[in-house]
Structure 1
Amino acid sequence: MSQFATGITVITAGGERGHGMTANAFSSVSLDPPMVLCCVSRAARMHDAILSAKAFAVSILGAEQQEMARYFADWRRPRGLAQFDAVDWFPGPHTGSPLLSGSLAWVECNLAEVYEGGDHSIFLGNVVSSKRGTGPHALTFFGGDYHQVGPDVRATA
């Protein structure tokens, strides 16, 4: 799967079990109604955080947020909402889930369905809010490393 280039997000949930997690298993599902999905290991703290909050948010990271991606992938960071003390964030207006400042876009979701997917759960969310940031370049993951992509990078025929 390292040959499949993906965008990088940080999925968050607020509430008592507030948590954040770097993820690239995120996708748009439907435009009408607007829905997205994310996949989370059932062994991850994020799994229980989403179930507890019954909502989640997604911050789509920009190219300059590589350290943010590494931070939320590091299991040594503080637990709970204390992990957000080290980053600039704001609460989502609809779910209260932390949204990371400087991201390319933000999506807030109410949890609609949970499906089993091997050792992961597939969380389907109804989008209740979305907003676009101003950054021009996205953070991607390919071949085991981070890369940047933007409107000035085009595929060749």
Structure 2
Amino acid sequence: MLKSQASPDSAVTGATGPDALLFREGMSRVAEAVHVVTTDGAAGRAGFTATAVTPVTDSPASLLVCVNTASRSAQALLANRVFCVNTLSAADLALADIFSGRTGIQGQERFLAGAWETLETGSPALATSLVSFDCRISDARVVATHHVIIGEIVCIRLGEPKPALIYRGRHYQEL
């Protein structure tokens, strides 16, 4: 039986599943690549920092991205129906903070940092990213507090191989 670190004698499993705090603590111990997910189109340009990105299948090539339903960027991404997943290098740590909202910079101002180009969908692709996956939404649904979005990849731009930015233990690290 799983026990909560904060309360070692209390059970955290049961009919409702594990305790949310314990789940977040457990996930903080998993190293994840850091991405900036961007979109552009009729609903405007937007972007956010994400670690909840994973491949779905290689034929057709697709990615799954999760974004909080309360996010301002989520609405633009869903309306534009396109997005680009930009995997960050360790040198792009400042961009991770900017697009996560930690710096207070909002909206279009976020794109003043970094060098941006476009690929097939018109979504911003970070010139310094390790890789950029340009996608069209093939499926989207709400699961609890998040939009779960699957994008079919229409273009991939490989960047220079260099140290990656990861998130683990609630802070960024170089790998």
| Fold shared by both chains (TM-score > 0.5) | yes
Match of 2:124?
98
Aligned sequence identity (%): 30
Query: Are 1:67 and 2:94 counterparts?
Result: yes
Query: Could you tell me the TM-score, scaled by structure 1's length?
Result: 0.89
- One-letter code aligned to 2:34: I
Of structures 1 and 2, the larger Rg is shown by 2
Q: Distance in 2 between matches of 1:135 and 1:10?
A: 17
Tell me the alpha carbon deviations over residues 93-143 of structure 1, each in whole angstroms, 9 at most, x when there is no partner: x11101112110000000000122110010000000012111321100000
Match of 1:12?
38
Compare the two structures and name the one with the higher strand fraction: 1
Alignment RMSD, CA only?
1.2
Match of 1:40?
67
Match of 2:167?
141
Match of 2:157?
131
SS in 2 for 1:128: strand
Contact 1:37/1:123, CA 8 A, preserved across alignment: yes
Which runs of structure 1 show a deviation greater than 6 angstroms over 4 or more consecutive aligned residues?
none
SS in 2 for 1:36: strand
Q: Distance in 2 between matches of 1:67 and 1:85?
A: 12
SS in 2 for 1:49: helix
Q: Using CA pairs under 8 Å that are at least 6 residues apart, name the structure with larger relative contact order, 1 or 2.
A: 1
Contact 1:102/1:135, CA 8 A, preserved across alignment: no
Return 5+ residue gaps in structure 1 as ranges. Answer: 150-157
Query: Could you tell me the TM-score, scaled by structure 2's length?
Result: 0.80
Match of 1:107?
133
CA apart distance, 1:77? 1.2
**What is the aligned length?**
147
Return 5+ residue gaps in structure 2 as ranges. Answer: 1-26
